A and B are shown apart, each in its own frame.
Chain A
């Protein structure tokens, strides 16, 4: 699903150029659950953003489903992202002015889906995320765990093939954190590919594979044994 070759990304400020990613090579197969780890500033989030087509690399190639997408313009990237990719952020990033239902509905609106179909899909995913009873609430009225469940609902409502999660449990207590990780694992078991950036060793154990980044380079890669979902 994802093939990255010799990827380089640097950030330039007025005085210095920082190399965030240096010759990264990475392959992720469909249905995999990959965790990216590493200390702060090692380039994890940069890598995730490029995979998520929110950013372009300076050098190298990025094939998404065998299509080179590293050099595409914003509009073209948006086109591919729509419906294929879902995002889950540490800080949830829900739109404060929209209700739970409306937040989840939004990606479907941009897919020009019919209203009746949208309602059906949103209801289904909210029930699945056990948040249906809160569909009329605004994000500020929810707990962190609930907000992140809404965010996951929004990520999967389009039946996205790939979910990119940036420290999804970072702002949650351990109980809610485990709940979120269980949800992601469930999704993965149903066939969704997941790439997750995390600081947490515990969370990394949910992944099939852990990639360690240091100073913009992949330093180690290890396989985990399949993880049992906690009831």
Chain B
């Protein structure tokens, strides 16, 4: 019997090429989307799962109310980690790491001791020995025990070991960093390359043993620079421990602030809570926690999963719609089979075999499609996913899923088709296909609702991205070259600046530690107007030079820019932003004294400019003149970027011949800061395209079916004198009504979804009605185009031909 089912299924497929193509093709697209997203999600969920004791390893963060806002912060004082381990017996291990460029983490010049050539490397951090143990980092060379226990030791990644020591034996070698021959670092271990993902991913880990970044650092309870992790024993109750940790505030922090007598700080400390975040949740569940790391958002992970699932459902709908629509062809067969002795369950199983066969075919094609699309998907999603062909579970999941999908998509058609009464079929009194018409309409509406929601969402995301890129930022990011790795210039930095200013292509040059983009340093300070200690405002202080405002095109609102004519500009004068003026309530700010402990005179107020990405509000800012070797920004005067670049590179080579000249452009850095938005935009693009493609395939097939079914009616109408237009309208209007209903349903859904998404941005566009109109028009046009192919064909029918064959 099974063989007979297969035979019929195969012959039906052969006879119904268009419908088969659409059924299988649509499902294959849905499956490809699901496979890609499943790989993506699997990757996202795998972060830090390899840590055997992951349930006992936590990152500490603090939650406190600051300026009326709740703040979650992951940076702690240098002695914090040690105090935790000493004070709480539940804590077995504690470890810190530090990524601050201020203290030398991040980028460095590297060379092997005894060689001359320096190489530029990034991804340096400082860490404790116990941190390696907490993360259970596997070693390929050396041993994790005691790897960082001695001063001046360093652990490197396998990639870097392969790069610098291709013959192995990296351990025991010595590295010179930033030409500092007084502080050589001995390599004590090589971290193994694994496929396991971690939020903690660095190439060079320098020990913190025996190191004070400044005198007395390890007893300093004020500066917060360290990520702190702990490992607890099995018996510990996490909530209870979180409560107990509060004693740290009482014991170490409050006494110091009481000494200083700062009421605001004490208030903040009293609001403080310590929270323990499981290490494997850091990658996906760190929204609202300030940690300066790039990670994903669990909401998007599930949103993508939902959308991929929806696309698969759309494809299943095509399957159901086409199977029931084409039931006329199968009704006779059903009637006959029943007449000669088939039970209903025989027929149900026959149709299920058929749909499972379809599903298996679709899976084969779908997985192939996913494989083809994977490189593209990887570049969009910034991943390096691969299809695990050699894993038994992958094959198992695929086979099981194809059976499941085949069953799911085939169940309704099987019950519908097998319900035909032989008597009705044989008498010809069954109006085939019409019974399930309402369901079909409903499913078409569902398909287009999904598609239109995705289209509108895509439009909103792209518009927000445009809004970000074109927003008036308060500074000019165009034609600003940012020179990297300038710390190697050393004392030559001012001289380098002067030489650049000689170049005809260069308009302004500024040396600063800060730029209004992500990835450059940030700090927190407390400011108050001199003599008004009761109102303190948190803000940043940026060390800049005299040309900072000019180079970045930041506009002065009142007062004056820094000038070499005033010696005091380099000592005590500051320029502040409008936000700080407002928050401090300064009237006539010019000449006012503000202080963070050290008094400063306000000589200028700048119009607010964005200090970070547009998800963040503009915060109070103080700019002061100060020597720094951080970043050199060059405002170019013309569009002749190429000649400017080669001139600047030439100057660079005269200063540091062993160093390659590296640079970025400020506008690119700015766009990069919003890369996540662009990435989501691209993924939505792809999804919207797939959804509308699948929906249109279905619509195309349905309209083909309808035309086929009404051929005789159309012919008679044409004989009776119906015009092309009236036939076209007759065949198109019903479908368009469905699309219109879908538009109405999708608008509030899209509006709600996108409003929620935009809430993440402090600066956002408003969703106008034009977007919905645009989305609706796109969907309608695509639908009309899809249906028209069939409708026009039908309206041009040669009536005699189809009537004669009746």
Chain A interface residues toward B at CB < 8 A? 45, 49, 52, 54-55, 74-75, 78, 81-83, 86-87, 89, 93-98, 102, 105-107, 109-112, 154
Q: A45-B427, A54-B423, A110-B346 are in contact. Are A97 and B341 (CB under 8 A)?
A: no
Contact of A102 (CB < 8 Å), options: B7, B332, B335: B7
Name the CB-closest residue of B to A111.
Answer: B341
Q: A75-B343, A106-B340, A110-B340 are in contact. Are A97 and B426 (CB under 8 A)?
A: no
Cβ of B430 under 8 Å from chain A: no
- A106 to B338, Cβ gap below 8 A? no
Least CB distance, A101 to chain B, in whole angstroms: 11
Q: A93-B336, A102-B7 are in contact. Are A54 and B426 (CB under 8 A)?
A: yes
Alpha-carbon separation in the docked complex, A64 to B38 (Å): 60
Alpha-carbon separation in the docked complex, A82 to B343 (Å): 10
- B7 to A83, Cβ gap below 8 A? no
Q: List 23 A-B contacts (CB under 8 A).
A: A45-B427, A54-B423, A54-B426, A55-B423, A75-B343, A75-B344, A78-B342, A81-B339, A81-B340, A83-B341, A87-B339, A87-B340, A93-B335, A93-B336, A93-B426, A97-B7, A97-B8, A105-B4, A106-B337, A110-B337, A110-B340, A110-B342, A154-B340
For B332, the chain A residues whose CB sits under 8 A away are 93, 95
- A78 to B338, Cβ gap below 8 A? yes
**A-B contacts at CB below 8 angstroms, number:** 69
Contact of B343 (CB < 8 Å), options: A78, A96, A97, A107: A78
Alpha-carbon separation in the docked complex, A132 to B656 (Å): 95
Alpha-carbon separation in the docked complex, A81 to B340 (Å): 7
For A94, the chain B residues whose CB sits under 8 A away are 336
For B339, the chain A residues whose CB sits under 8 A away are 52, 54, 81, 87, 93
Alpha-carbon separation in the docked complex, A97 to B341 (Å): 18
For A95, the chain B residues whose CB sits under 8 A away are 8, 332-333, 336-337
| 16 further interface pairs, Cβ-Cβ under 8 Å (given A95-B333, A106-B4) | A49-B423, A74-B421, A78-B338, A78-B341, A81-B340, A89-B426, A93-B335, A93-B339, A98-B8, A105-B4, A106-B340, A109-B1, A109-B4, A110-B340, A110-B342, A112-B1
For B756, the chain A residues whose CB sits under 8 A away are none
Least CB distance, A14 to chain B, in whole angstroms: 14
Alpha-carbon separation in the docked complex, A52 to B336 (Å): 13
Cβ of B685 under 8 Å from chain A: no
Cβ of B251 under 8 Å from chain A: no
For B335, the chain A residues whose CB sits under 8 A away are 93
Q: A106-B4, A106-B337, A109-B4 are in contact. Are A97 and B11 (CB under 8 A)?
A: yes
Least CB distance, B35 to chain A, in whole angstroms: 32
Cβ of B422 under 8 Å from chain A: yes
- B8 to A107, Cβ gap below 8 A? no
Pick the most buried of A86, A107, A112: most chain B CB atoms within 10 A of its CB.
Answer: A107
Pick the most buried of B8, B426, B427: most chain A CB atoms within 10 A of its CB.
Answer: B426
Chain B interface residues toward A at CB < 8 A? 1, 4, 7-8, 11-12, 15, 332-333, 335-344, 346, 421-423, 426-427
Contact of B7 (CB < 8 Å), options: A96, A98, A111: A98
Alpha-carbon separation in the docked complex, A111 to B346 (Å): 12
Least CB distance, B93 to chain A, in whole angstroms: 69
For A45, the chain B residues whose CB sits under 8 A away are 427
Alpha-carbon separation in the docked complex, A106 to B340 (Å): 8
Q: A55-B423, A106-B4 are in contact. Are A97 and B344 (CB under 8 A)?
A: no
Least CB distance, A41 to chain B, in whole angstroms: 12
- B340 to A107, Cβ gap below 8 A? yes
Q: A55-B423, A93-B332, A97-B15 are in contact. Are A74 and B344 (CB under 8 A)?
A: yes
Least CB distance, B222 to chain A, in whole angstroms: 83
For A110, the chain B residues whose CB sits under 8 A away are 1, 337, 340-343, 346
Name the CB-closest residue of A to B339.
Answer: A87
Alpha-carbon separation in the docked complex, A89 to B343 (Å): 21
- A107 to B15, Cβ gap below 8 A? no
Name the CB-closest residue of B to A95.
Answer: B333
Q: A97-B333, A110-B346 are in contact. Are A81 and B7 (CB under 8 A)?
A: no
Least CB distance, A149 to chain B, in whole angstroms: 16
Name the CB-closest residue of B to A97.
Answer: B11
For A112, the chain B residues whose CB sits under 8 A away are 1
Alpha-carbon separation in the docked complex, A55 to B425 (Å): 12
For B423, the chain A residues whose CB sits under 8 A away are 49, 54-55
Contact of A107 (CB < 8 Å), options: B341, B344, B426: B341
For A54, the chain B residues whose CB sits under 8 A away are 339, 421-423, 426
Alpha-carbon separation in the docked complex, A83 to B11 (Å): 27
Least CB distance, B132 to chain A, in whole angstroms: 68
Pick the most buried of A93, A112, A154: most chain B CB atoms within 10 A of its CB.
Answer: A93
Name the CB-closest residue of A to B334.
Answer: A95
Name the CB-closest residue of B to A55.
Answer: B423
Alpha-carbon separation in the docked complex, A97 to B14 (Å): 10
Least CB distance, B786 to chain A, in whole angstroms: 29
For A154, the chain B residues whose CB sits under 8 A away are 340
Name the CB-closest residue of B to A151.
Answer: B336
For B12, the chain A residues whose CB sits under 8 A away are 97
For A82, the chain B residues whose CB sits under 8 A away are 340-341
For B427, the chain A residues whose CB sits under 8 A away are 45, 49
For A86, the chain B residues whose CB sits under 8 A away are 340
For B422, the chain A residues whose CB sits under 8 A away are 54
Name the CB-closest residue of B to A52.
Answer: B339
For B1, the chain A residues whose CB sits under 8 A away are 109-110, 112
Alpha-carbon separation in the docked complex, A95 to B337 (Å): 9
For A97, the chain B residues whose CB sits under 8 A away are 7-8, 11-12, 15, 333
Least CB distance, B427 to chain A, in whole angstroms: 7
Name the CB-closest residue of B to A160.
Answer: B340
Name the CB-closest residue of B to A164.
Answer: B339
Alpha-carbon separation in the docked complex, A83 to B341 (Å): 8
Least CB distance, A157 to chain B, in whole angstroms: 9
For A87, the chain B residues whose CB sits under 8 A away are 339-340
Alpha-carbon separation in the docked complex, A49 to B335 (Å): 13
- A102 to B4, Cβ gap below 8 A? yes
For B346, the chain A residues whose CB sits under 8 A away are 110
For A81, the chain B residues whose CB sits under 8 A away are 339-341
For B343, the chain A residues whose CB sits under 8 A away are 75, 78, 110
Least CB distance, A118 to chain B, in whole angstroms: 11
Alpha-carbon separation in the docked complex, A105 to B11 (Å): 17
Alpha-carbon separation in the docked complex, A107 to B346 (Å): 12
For A75, the chain B residues whose CB sits under 8 A away are 343-344
Alpha-carbon separation in the docked complex, A169 to B346 (Å): 31
For B340, the chain A residues whose CB sits under 8 A away are 81-82, 86-87, 106-107, 110, 154
Pick the most buried of A94, A105, A110: most chain B CB atoms within 10 A of its CB.
Answer: A110
For B421, the chain A residues whose CB sits under 8 A away are 54, 74
For A83, the chain B residues whose CB sits under 8 A away are 341
Alpha-carbon separation in the docked complex, A54 to B15 (Å): 30
